[in-house]
Every structure is written in structure tokens, then in C-alpha cells.
Amino acid sequence: MDIQFTPEDLAFRDEVREFIASEHPKDLLGIRYRQHLKREDILAWHQILHQKGWIAPNWPVEYGGTGWTPMQRYIFSEECARAETVTILPFGLNMVGPVIYTFGSPEQKEHFLPKILSAEHWWCQGYSEPEAGSDLASLRTTAVLDGDEYVINGQKTWTTLAQFANWIFVLARTDPEAKPQAGISFFLVDMNTPGVSVRPIKLIDGSYEVNDTFFDNVRVPRENMIGEENQGWTYAKFLLGHERVGIAGVARSKTALGYVRDMAVHELIDGIPLAEEDGFSAKLAEVEIDLTALEFTELRALAAESQGHAPGAEASILKIRGTEIQQRITELAVEAVAHYGFPKEPSEDDTTALEVGPEYAIGAVDNYLQMRKTSIYGGSNEIQRNIIAKMVLGL
């Protein structure tokens, strides 16, 4: 694809930049750690974009999409990253939404899609289980048809922000005798249904973002199953392809790398800026080169998607390289701030936390610890390499 900005692209960039500057809540710009935000904070920017008609750049126009070109979508993500806007949650817009408008019934599209766009429905993901993470096909949660309802029993884990969600999309086994991938169905479940319960999981950095979610004889209307019974694995793979493209996070990584460069300019070694030290500057350059290469891969994926091609092996490539780069950037940040990174970031729950050193050192270690998860969620990077080996190399 042609990645040169046309005059129209530049005008669009100016429009996006002006809109963010004038409409994004000022007190929420530059907040890099979602786990510190309240429910209303996370939803604020979503609702503003919805009112503007900009909330679903990747959706078809007939379902509420913007009709933007791949370059306009790229510009929009770049400008949001540059301004450090609140990150829009992917579970409704980028994950279950495309499943519904691709495989759902007309009634499901009419009911669910507008509520995803408006954020009336806050979705979370019911995929992973204690014994079924990267090996998702070994899931044990069951759904048994009883009249016009399915009765779901089981447990999901690592359910991001389930404490705020009012809907969850769930993979459950509907044919226990079938091969692992063949007996799974895809359900849309109201979190307020009797029998659904949520238990928090405290993360290594002390934050609370993920949960265990339990289903105890949860009755779900038959019409809340997507597509055909026992075909859920097909829909699950489709969803994961969209998720993995988003996980790459190229635009946000470019912003984060800029922060590390600024750190390295201010941190001194024997009176010399760290940015001029051969070893550290070489590491920065290597990450920047890899990030640029990944950006071109993402642009090719966007161009292919705009022509109707669903993400394939490139989704796994983006996921692997994107998450590795994210982790390397956080490692460089910790290396740059050195001993100043040790004291934990102050929080409402811990008034004894120390705050020493420069402001840019605060949160460096917390962010490093948070980003350890990125190479695991969305399908571990080991599994993604297996996918590439099969789809691309035919192994």
C-alpha cells in the first residue's frame, strides 16, 4: 500500500488532532495504566467517540463503522497514541462485535451491535480456564440444552475487568464426545444472570484488573448462541485473529519508546547522558528498527483487511513481535531509571509507598511487571509460532 500522506490525509490528521485536544477529558490524558482508572473514566472517551461517530473504525459502514481508509485508521491510532488518550476496550468493539456482525443472526445484530457502539454493554471475555489457557480446546465449561435454554457450568479465569462488565462471551462444550475443537459453542451471557459470580485476582504489581468468573447452573436463552451448535471453535479463531492484530499496539509502543528516549537523555553515567552510551543507544536503535518493521507489517494487514481479507498468519506475527517489543521497551525503561525504579508507585491503598527520584521513574517497574503478561494472553507466543509453522511453512 502507498503510505505517503495525501493532502486529504493531512487534513484528516489535523481534524483528529484538533478533536482530541478539544474533546478528550483533560484529566485523563497521559494516564498510561488502565488499572488505576474507574469505570466511568474508561467509558468517558468511548462515549465521546460514539457521539462523534468515530468509535468503530474497523466495522463495516452498515453496522456503524466510519468508512475510513486504512491510512485514516492508521492516522487515528497514531494521533490517539501521541496524545495518550484513554485506551478503548477491545472486547466489544474489536472482538465480539466482529463475530456478531459476521456470524450472528439478524436479531442478534439488531440487539447487540448498537449497544456495543454506545457502551451500554460492557463486554468481557470467557475463554481461558484454569486447565485451558493456550490449549484452549481443552476447556471444561459445559453448556447443556434444556428446553429453550442452555445451562452453563464451569469456570473462566483471567477475565479482564469482569468486575465492571455486564456481558460476557463464553466458549462452552456442548458435545463432550466430539474431538476437542469440534464440540464447542459460542454464547453471549448477561453477567447479571443468576449463577454468575466474579472473584478478583491480584496481580504481581498489586493491581486488580483480572478475575475468576464462575458459572453455576447459569441459564442462557438458546437465541444467545452465535451461529450453529458445536461450531464455536470457528468463531473463536476468527475473534482471536482480530484480537491479536490489536495486541500488537504499534502506535502506543512508539509513544512509550519516546518516553524511554527522554529518560535516557536525562539520566547520566559519569556525567554523560545514557542516550549517548554505546550499549544503551544500540539497544534503543534495535528496538526502533524492529518497531518500524512491525509498523509496515501492520499497515499491510490493515490494507488486506480493508479488501475483505480476515487476519491470517500475519495476526500471529503481529502478536509475537508486538508483545516482545512492548516488553523490551519496559525493560529499557527500568534499566534507564536504575535504582529509582525500585520504590513502588503510590496508590490510594498504600500510603506508605515511597516516591523518590525523578517523576518519570514512577511506575516504571509496575509497568514492567504488568507487561510480562502480554506474551501469554491472546494465545501465548509459543502457540503463535506453532500457528505460523503450520500456516506459512506447512510443518
Measured in whole angstroms, how far is the alpha carbon of residue 329 from the centre of its chain?
A: 18
Active site residue 243: yes
Cell of 214: 464462575
Cell of 67: 468508512
187 Cβ neighbours under 8 A, 6+ residues apart: 143, 150, 152, 169, 170, 171, 172, 220, 224, 225, 226
Report the distance separating Cα 67 and Cα 60, nearest Å: 7
Going by the DSSP 8-state scheme, the letter that residue 31 receives in this structure is: -
Instruction: Please tell me which residue in 79, 84, 243, 267 is annotated as part of the active site.
Output: 243
With beta carbons less than 8 A apart as the criterion, state whether 354 and 343 touch: yes
Q: Which residues pair with 125 in a beta bridge?
A: 169
- Write the DSSP string, 48-106: HHHHHT-S-TTS-GGGT-----HHHHHHHHHHHHHHTPPPPPHIIIIIIHHHHHHHS-H
Q: Give the DSSP H/E element, type plus range, for residue 268.
A: strand 268-269
* CA dihedral angle for residue 255, residue 257, residue 258, residue 263, rounded to 10 degrees: 130
Residues acting as catalytic residues: 243
